[in-house]
Structure 1
Amino acid sequence: MSDIMRPIPFGQLMNWVLTEQETQGTIFGVSKLKRYTSGQARPIFGEKIESPFGPAAGPHTQLAQNLIAAYAGGSRFFEVKTVQIMDGEDLSKCVNKPCITAADECYNCEWSTELYVPQAFAEYVKAWFACKLMAKEYGLGDPDGFVFNMSVGYDLAGIQSEKIDKYLNEMRDASQTAVWQECMDWTLANLGRFRNVDEAYVKAITPQVSNSVTISTLHGCPPDEIERIANHLIVNKGFNTFIKCNPTLLGYEFARKTLDALGFDYIQFDDHHFKEDLQFADAVPMFRRLIALCAEKGVEFGIKLTNTFPVDVAANELPSEEMYMSGRSLYPLTLSLAGKLSHEFDGKLRISYSGGADIFNMKSLIGCNIWPVTMATTLLKSGGYNRLHQIAEDLAPSTEAFTGVDVAKLDALLDQLFADTHYQKPMKPIPSRKVDKKVPLIDCFNAPCREGCPIHQDIPAYLMRVKAGKYDEALEIITKRNALPFITGTICSHRCQDKCMRNAYEESVYIRSAKLKAAEGGFAAVLPTLKPGAPVDGVKVAIVGGGPAGLSAAFFLGRAGADVTVFERKNTLGGIVRHVIPAFRISDEAIENDVALAKAVGAKFQLGTEVKDVQGLFAQGYTHVILATGAWMPGRAGLSYGDEMDVIDFLEAAKKAPETLQLGADVVVIGGGNTAMDAARAAKRIPGVENVRLVYRRTKRYMPADQEELEFALADGVEFMELLAPVGVKDGVLTCHAMELGAPDASGRRSPVDTGRVVEVPATTVIAAVGEKVDTGLYTANGLAVDNRGKAVVNGETLESSVKNVYVIGDGQKGPGTVVEAIADATKAAKAIVPFDTESEVEKNVNPDYNAPLAKRGDLCTDCKNCDDLRCLGCATVCETCTEVCPNRANVAIRVPGMRMRQIVHVDGMCNECGNCATFCPYDSRPYKDKFTLFWSEEDFNNSENEGFLRLEGAKTRVRLAGQVKDYDVSDAACGLYEPLRQLISTVYADYAYLLG
């Protein structure tokens, strides 16, 4: 099957390492090699580690290349993947694929190695030997400065079985094993390939791969069974021993309350594991007995905190009924358990830590003398193994032995926990980073920010120029597609940032603020350069409405050379933005700057002029009419009784004449969108208002408002009253039905259900912010066809209505939308009238220095708000995310002569279809299924449906493409194979032969 991993022989493994390092300066794709030069190392298990961290038992310690990559990045403590008596094919049948998703917190449904135990042993030995060679050859540090720690499970009978006992014995001394001899023989036969490794060094490599074990037990394992396992490993086998504990030791109520408080309330689990797992009252005396036993036997003892946390599959996250949670949502639980146990043992209990460890907390954890620390989730995210370098650089070298946990420092860390935003889930679900496209076989680099933007702004291009201080150039690029840089730079809903790949690091790039910086910095230089385009004969355009859509259409048409006039019924331009959006969100000056851009390109404006007769405009000589009238009609909250104030009326009055409003002490805003947030925040500023409450029938998580708008409202003191459905208002009281969230549907969405309870909310004024409507009368009066919702029927490509040369754009076309959506509409209609180019800046999105964005990979910003760097990853230049997030290194980037970007090759034999690359690929695709695949054997080729290639004997290559299988001689340019793929295959053969197996 295509999910079967094929272990790489030691010779091929080392050939890969040596060749890749020599030709590319990387090791299994890790470009940031960490070299330890201080000579300092911490003692552990009678050995030493140059750094007290590394990969946890999991996807990053299953194959030799994974361990090698982790070592290259700076890891020096390796908890190799768990082995148990059930292995290989038997285990594989129990693991549904995909088995990992780490978009934010991580979930998995796999547990121990998918290899047979002898295969797993061989992988660990090969990795051990390879790391010894790499340490010496590349000067990465002390060859004896790293430790392999075994992980075994899950019951005593299995651990005592011949298979596992043999594994334990041979990990302690591999000298008599075939794989050890394989490693030794190959190295001695190939000494000529090394510069710094000689025969004496090779023969002195110790075959003691590991003398320590972490015991991993299944949920529900009885305490006496855990202790029997520990006794066996300590007394009978003489191993230094850690016992992995489950977060269920904290108790159900604590876990539920903690996750709820940090915004992870959607994670579902019941109390059965908490009842069945090891109890705190049983764990403490057991640990005391084992501490004494280990002291007697002269080995070290500690506990591993913690195992992953079992939760329900509620939204089809993985193809299983239960999955295991890890990452930042596990950190508060693990840290809390560390605190609880450290107090119980006065800091004398050693803790090996794993549970949401990353760059944000590593230094603090080790500062509490909690180490070693192992990680999985952070390494599954963009940057992958390259994240290790930053962590290593952040830690000072040390020779400190474990002398006890610093309980005071740990308490201080726990005190900060609930105030640390890194561990708080945003109120709104993190939007999907996926773009609605399938990944191509070739040239799959893509800037998702551009795809997320309705006008496909050339974001990477202007970000590079903002970073360089070239604000005029940046603004010129922006205005090719965006007529309103000041407005969008201030209040755009920035869907581009939702798609930003930086979200997988810490936060998206602050694209909107960079745009505003360009607008403010470049305005004075750019404005004088703008002028009307060459006149277009026979085109005279009337635009009805001077809001964002109308202003944008005027700008584009004027710049294209059209004679264009905007008719605006009010005495100032800007529409909803000018008259409704509060001044604390956007200034009049910003709006006037965008108006000035339109005037500079020749647009004319007639203010205080309401147009109701479209044919009258044609009679005046206009050839085309664009209706951009907005959605000003009030929406209704549907109250059964009582009065409600329309949100537009309220916001207009609040902006123009707040002194005229008599709202009383208690204002209730009904709604959950951005307009509702504006209304609530504006109401807080009206004299006499004491309390503003926002009523919504669902929770904040399901409100349509943007995350930042929710945060602003909360910061202003707006009280959110969730799960309330308004009924009516009378005598200063809004009566509501109390709702509750029902069971999740297939997407995980939970609909509100009436509980039958009634809640009364003080309400001197009720403001309805439930969606404005389109003035259908304007359309019908002018003969435009409308749909059953009263909206004009238009051509999807041009936005032309049923009346020839009459176009409808903006909110008036589809209902309340965003400013940038209005610009997109304006672009469509304007291009339909006078074609113009918006693509001239596209090539500027690509950084001419390919290595510049690569250099950013793996480095997280720990203080984004105060960071001077824009943090852009340069996705239009290079993506390669699938290569970074694959634990097994099964996606490889190669340089193909004549192609601008590196191309992705998927290596089938190294992939177990965990699915992690599918999570992070910006396309709606699965690279492990959808990228061009290199196969190592005919069996694997035949058992897969992937498009890809297999090298045959002689000059032939078998290729599957578009479902068809055919053999080619790829050395022949006329062989008939699609030329880019022929070049890719030929490049693999010529320059990347180590990939071939």
Structure 2
Amino acid sequence: MGDRMTPIPFKELMEWITYENKKYGKIFGVNKFFKKQDDKVLEIFGEKIETPFGPAAGPHTQLAQNIIAAYVSGCRFFELKTVQTLDGEDLPVSKPCIKAEDECYNVEWSTELRVQEAYAEYIKAWFALKILSKELELGSPDGFIFNMSVGYDFEGISSPKIDEFIMGLKDASKSNIWRECRQYVLDNIEKFKNIDKEYVESISPRVCRSITLSTLHGCPSKEIEHIATYLLNEKGLNTYVKCNPTLLGYEFVRKTLDSIGFDYVSFDEHHFQEDLQFDDAIVMFRKLQDLASQKGLSFGVKLTNTFPALIKNAELPGDEMYMSGKSLYPLSIAMASRLSNEFDGKLKISYSGGADFFNINSIFETGIWPITIATTMLKVGGYQRCVQIAEKLSKLEYANKYVMNNEKLNELKDESVKDIHHIKPIKPNYTGKINKKVPLADCFISACEEGCPISQNIPEYINFVDKGKHLEALRVIVEKNPLPFITGTICSHACMGKCTRNFCDESVNIRNIKLQAAENAYEDLLNELVKTEKSGGRVAIVGGGTTGLAAAYFLAREGMDVTIFEKRNALGGIVSHIVPEFRLPHETVQKDINLVCSLGVKVELNSEQNSVENLKKLGYKYVLFAIGAWKPGKLNIEGENVINVLQFLERLRSKDSTLNLGKNVVVVGGGNTAMDAARAAKRAEGVENVYLVYRRTKKYMPADMEELQLAIEEGVEFKELLAPVKITKGVLSCEIMELGQLDESGRRRPVASGKMIDIQADIVISAVGEKVDAVIFKENNINVNEKEQAIVDVITLETNIKGVYVAGDGLHGPATVVEGIADATKVARAVVKQEKNHDLEVELPETNTNIEAIMAKKGILKMSLSGKAECERCLQCSTVCEACVDVCPNRANIAIKVKGNSMHQIIHVDKMCNECGNCEMFCPYDSAPYKEKFTLFAKVSDFENSENMGFVLIDSDKKNVRVRLQDKVLEVNLNSSNTGIPKDIENMIWAVISNYNYMV
């Protein structure tokens, strides 16, 4: 496997397009086409453009198929990937070269093809678009624009190689590749219904009338002016000059990025000092503008180039990378505003820098166009995101006066630093890949389901809610989760951290959809639940919190005789006695308790049955300790008026009239319980100020982002980087901390500064981590570890004492509700297996097989909605994933239909891949599809130079193939009765050869 792409000849390119579109309704994997419905156009450089946006010079304009995929998706302006004299194999590009998880980084800057190869790709793309626009009636054949991009110094740009490239795009008629494209269409005219000879002969060879100049960082202003003057004077091209964000100055850029959450982006001042300076730029741009006017041409600026950032944590290979995407938006808009004000709105601006579905209308309405995009197309949805953008732009009014609305532009500059779509959240929304390797076949997977500790069938129940089938949805939920109201209200929703929509807009509100199902079908579900006949060994559950309740439900459902012993006067544990009422009302908890008890679970309240020996004497064969973490964590500060958070919250929830907080409350801690305490204190009578003290910053607090945000919105004042020392006479003294290097948890270590600060505090609430009281384990001779947590079998959670189990907090320390349910499931499974010799009976729902409806959601961005509409945002990844297909700029990952499979399978096409690594970023597995998916090789030599599992066709007529599986290479004839290849892999090979032979 190599990182060099093999361009597709025009004949094969057109046959691929024709066959794929006719048979599968796709073109290079794009299954939604944008068709211009009116004749509304804009004019620039004497050319017309239907939708004033398209791909920036980058990965989406490097190959002909990339440009074609962008066009059918609605793009009409194409900034071709930059060429320079250093090209092809001589150009060193470290791989992987793209990291687009959130804001984007790259370490490549121009085409990886030879200049002549790049030229051929652009001509093939131009000719293909002229044919497709008319044949498929996607829009006017004259409704799109190609803009060439060259770099990086005068010597290179004026060299024969680049000069030939420039002149060849000004007029391609004499080139071999032009003649090849033209002749193919003429020779195959009968294959087209809307194309005739006259039309083909009328296709203009004037591919580019404009050029964008891209110079390296540190290029002197005189050099830039010299090149631009040459392009205007000698080449007669409408000219844009790319401007680097460094034009704004170090202080402005640093302050802006810090203010919107990108304070971790590392860069120094040297580029700002060496690059073009703003005042020099203004003088130069005026001169070039005047020159262009004299020549009857246009001059403008391209805002902005990518931003140089230092590589600190091996994000990509090398020492420096280039940043783009959402972090660049406020900088690019600020530069546009500043330049446009200098020129009274009369400077032409081509825009790039974080443009996407959410802001593109606002950018266009300032008068800025064309607008180019890259990062948004590198994310899930890929090229198909452009359809939605094109539809959005096509509804706007087009005014062909190229004058900026500076007032709107200045307003947009101010709004950009507050735009939620371009601000880095305090904590990441996406929590990382699932800990599995991608399989060769059937790799579609719901990352949300994998992220859930109990593997809830999330897409399935969302699909039922979407159809209004709430009872069916709730049945699916309670198969694995008997506490739908509690988890539907306060679950830590690990599922949402894995949701694919995090790469689009924001996670599907999975937790709320669960609650919808529970609220709408609770009574119906209760009515159909039946008490099963109890048989087998009796089970005692010590602790009536959520873990104990869940275990009781699963065991009772299997016919076990279960009794819960709860030392307090009500079931529910922490959720009943500690979690504030405003977060989790009593009625909500009681519904789940009723659900559990409806199966015949017995309950003994105010009962401290802590002895295994006594419980065994009472006839219980199995004992589960599901005790909560009620032991206070220790806060080492001097002074009085310090209360533990659990004591505080329990007294508050029980409406203890003796609890007096005073005016100033300090909560010490950064977890969810600390947020609960702070929010509860804000509601307490007489309290004026609530301060939350933490020794790190918000970014490193363990609290969920949602809980953190609610505390901020409710007026809790965060005191970051402080460590409390002592409280005296209503004053809490704290030491100021600084962030040091990363520790083993991946967070920056707090380092004492020696400086002190005082905070007004009538009371301090300690929320620094509760523990399980291990006395109960020791008294029953249960082995514990150094943290005084029970030692158990990892599968069954059985302790060293046969028939005795520990689950929940006693195992992990303070655990989430859903982690407790996961433990309860393990225990129930172990007990039922031992007692009844079968597994827990779980009826799994059918997967949604409406592939067409699911595919229609691809590339559609929309923020969270209320009610049933939220279900529509679910991408149903258990049926269709194809993230690697979406995000590949070169279309090297292809979804195919395979005999015997209702779901699509993924084939990686080696010759189209340059190992950019983008598919690795978005694959939900801990895998890189370009290395690990089943690969189609074009030649035997490519097969031999790779370690990928895959195949190469040796003899198409006789169906001989060479296949690599694991470390074994087989040469087989597919017509033989036993190939030795697994059937699912053999079917994939047959599918490629039989139905997708244009790929071979």
Tell me the TM-score normalized by structure 1: 0.98
Structure 2 counterpart SS, 1:395: helix
Instruction: Say if 1:435 and 1:448, in contact at 8 Å, map to a contact too.
Output: yes
CA distance in 1, matches of 2:844, 2:938: 39
Q: Which amino acid aligns with 1:498?
A: G
CA distance in 2, matches of 1:761, 1:431: 35
Which whole-Å deviations, capped at 9, do the CAs of 1:901-925 have from their partners, x for residues lacking one?
1110000000000000000000000
Aligned to 2:428: 429
Of 268-277 and 773-782, more deviation after overlay is shown by: 268-277
CA distance in 2, matches of 1:838, 1:375: 51
CA distance in 1, matches of 2:180, 2:411: 51
Aligned to 2:972: 968
Instruction: Say if 1:68 and 1:131, in contact at 8 Å, map to a contact too.
Output: yes
Of 43-52 and 414-423, more deviation after overlay is shown by: 414-423
Q: Which amino acid aligns with 1:31?
A: N
Instruction: Say if 2:104 and 2:375, in contact at 8 Å, map to a contact too.
Output: yes
Choose which of 711, 714, 729 in structure 1 pairs with 2:709.
711
Aligned to 2:209: 211
Structure 2 counterpart SS, 1:423: coil
The answer on 1:202 being equivalent to 2:200 is yes
Aligned to 1:57: 57
Aligned to 1:496: 495
The answer on 1:86 being equivalent to 2:86 is yes
How far is the alpha carbon of 1:682 from its aligned partner?
1.1
CA distance in 2, matches of 1:818, 1:19: 52
Structure 2 counterpart SS, 1:174: coil
Instruction: Say if 2:508 and 2:864, in contact at 8 Å, map to a contact too.
Output: no
Q: Which amino acid aligns with 2:605?
A: L
The answer on 1:977 being equivalent to 2:981 is yes
How far is the alpha carbon of 1:862 from its aligned partner?
4.6
How far is the alpha carbon of 1:664 from its aligned partner?
2.0
Q: 1:838 to 1:494 in 2, by over 3 A?
A: farther
Of 321-330 and 640-649, more deviation after overlay is shown by: 640-649
Structure 2 counterpart SS, 1:676: helix
Structure 2 counterpart SS, 1:466: helix
How far is the alpha carbon of 1:743 from its aligned partner?
4.4
CA distance in 2, matches of 1:842, 1:270: 55
The answer on 1:948 being equivalent to 2:947 is no
Aligned to 2:850: 849
Structure 2 counterpart SS, 1:211: strand
Q: How many residues align?
A: 992
CA distance in 2, matches of 1:503, 1:416: 23
Which whole-Å deviations, capped at 9, do the CAs of 1:558-612 have from their partners, x for residues lacking one?
1111111111111111100010000110000011000101111110111111122
Alignment of 1:885-900 (within 5 A): 885-900=887-902
How far is the alpha carbon of 1:745 from its aligned partner?
7.3
CA distance in 2, matches of 1:779, 1:431: 38
Q: Which amino acid aligns with 1:194?
A: F
Q: Which amino acid aligns with 1:800?
A: E
Structure 2 counterpart SS, 1:679: helix
Aligned to 1:252: 250
Choose which of 868, 873, 886 in structure 2 pairs with 1:884.
886
How far is the alpha carbon of 1:276 from its aligned partner?
1.2
* Percent of aligned pairs with the same amino acid: 55
CA distance in 1, matches of 2:975, 2:636: 72
Structure 1 counterpart SS, 2:206: coil
Instruction: Say if 1:109 and 1:318, in contact at 8 Å, map to a contact too.
Output: yes
Aligned to 1:450: 449
Instruction: Say if 2:731 and 2:758, in contact at 8 Å, map to a contact too.
Output: yes
How far is the alpha carbon of 1:462 from its aligned partner?
0.7
Q: 1:865 to 1:153 in 2, by over 3 A?
A: farther
Which whole-Å deviations, capped at 9, do the CAs of 1:54-82 have from their partners, x for residues lacking one?
00000000000000100110110000000
Q: Which amino acid aligns with 2:896?
A: I
Structure 1 unaligned residues grouped into runs of 5+: none
CA distance in 1, matches of 2:325, 2:447: 25
Aligned to 1:17: 17
Aligned to 1:420: 419
The answer on 1:409 being equivalent to 2:408 is yes
Alignment of 1:772-811 (within 5 A): 772-811=770-809
CA distance in 2, matches of 1:985, 1:281: 62
Aligned to 2:999: 995
CA distance in 1, matches of 2:69, 2:679: 51
How far is the alpha carbon of 1:128 from its aligned partner?
0.4
CA distance in 2, matches of 1:296, 1:658: 84
CA distance in 2, matches of 1:182, 1:431: 48
CA distance in 2, matches of 1:216, 1:785: 68
CA distance in 2, matches of 1:777, 1:766: 28
Choose which of 819, 824, 828 in structure 2 pairs with 1:826.
824
Instruction: Say if 1:971 and 1:986, in contact at 8 Å, map to a contact too.
Output: no
Which whole-Å deviations, capped at 9, do the CAs of 1:113-156 have from their partners, x for residues lacking one?
00010000000000000011101111111111111000101111
CA distance in 1, matches of 2:648, 2:562: 33
Q: Which amino acid aligns with 1:500?
A: C
How far is the alpha carbon of 1:182 from its aligned partner?
1.2
How far is the alpha carbon of 1:466 from its aligned partner?
0.9
How far is the alpha carbon of 1:706 from its aligned partner?
0.4
Choose which of 713, 719, 722 in structure 2 pairs with 1:721.
719
Instruction: Say if 1:315 and 1:746, in contact at 8 Å, map to a contact too.
Output: no
Aligned to 2:76: 76
CA distance in 1, matches of 2:931, 2:31: 26
Q: Which amino acid aligns with 1:5?
A: M
Aligned to 2:649: 651
Instruction: Say if 2:579 and 2:676, in contact at 8 Å, map to a contact too.
Output: yes
How far is the alpha carbon of 1:411 from its aligned partner?
2.0
Aligned to 1:930: 932
Q: 1:39 to 1:11 in 2, by over 3 A?
A: same
Structure 2 counterpart SS, 1:114: coil
Q: 1:399 to 1:736 in 2, by over 3 A?
A: closer
Instruction: Say if 1:546 and 1:574, in contact at 8 Å, map to a contact too.
Output: yes
CA distance in 1, matches of 2:189, 2:490: 64
How far is the alpha carbon of 1:257 from its aligned partner?
1.3
CA distance in 2, matches of 1:115, 1:864: 45
Of 539-548 and 404-413, more deviation after overlay is shown by: 404-413
Q: Which amino acid aligns with 2:991?
A: T
How far is the alpha carbon of 1:939 from its aligned partner?
2.2
Of 436-445 and 252-261, more deviation after overlay is shown by: 252-261
Structure 2 counterpart SS, 1:842: coil
Aligned to 2:757: 759
Aligned to 2:465: 466
CA distance in 2, matches of 1:154, 1:435: 42
CA distance in 1, matches of 2:840, 2:299: 66
Aligned to 1:483: 482
Alignment of 1:493-642 (within 5 A): 493-537=492-536, 539-639=537-637, 642=640
Which whole-Å deviations, capped at 9, do the CAs of 1:263-306 have from their partners, x for residues lacking one?
11121212221111111111111111111110000111111100
How far is the alpha carbon of 1:869 from its aligned partner?
3.7
Q: 1:285 to 1:743 in 2, by over 3 A?
A: farther
CA distance in 1, matches of 2:373, 2:748: 33
Q: 1:749 to 1:784 in 2, by over 3 A?
A: closer
Q: Which amino acid aligns with 1:372?
A: P
CA distance in 2, matches of 1:54, 1:550: 57
Structure 1 counterpart SS, 2:69: helix
Instruction: Say if 2:476 and 2:845, in contact at 8 Å, map to a contact too.
Output: no
Instruction: Say if 1:172 and 1:209, in contact at 8 Å, map to a contact too.
Output: yes
How far is the alpha carbon of 1:227 from its aligned partner?
0.5
Tell me the TM-score normalized by structure 2: 0.97
The answer on 1:234 being equivalent to 2:260 is no
Q: Which amino acid aligns with 2:861?
A: L
Structure 1 counterpart SS, 2:970: strand
Structure 2 counterpart SS, 1:663: coil
Instruction: Say if 1:500 and 1:508, in contact at 8 Å, map to a contact too.
Output: yes
Instruction: Say if 2:506 and 2:863, in contact at 8 Å, map to a contact too.
Output: no
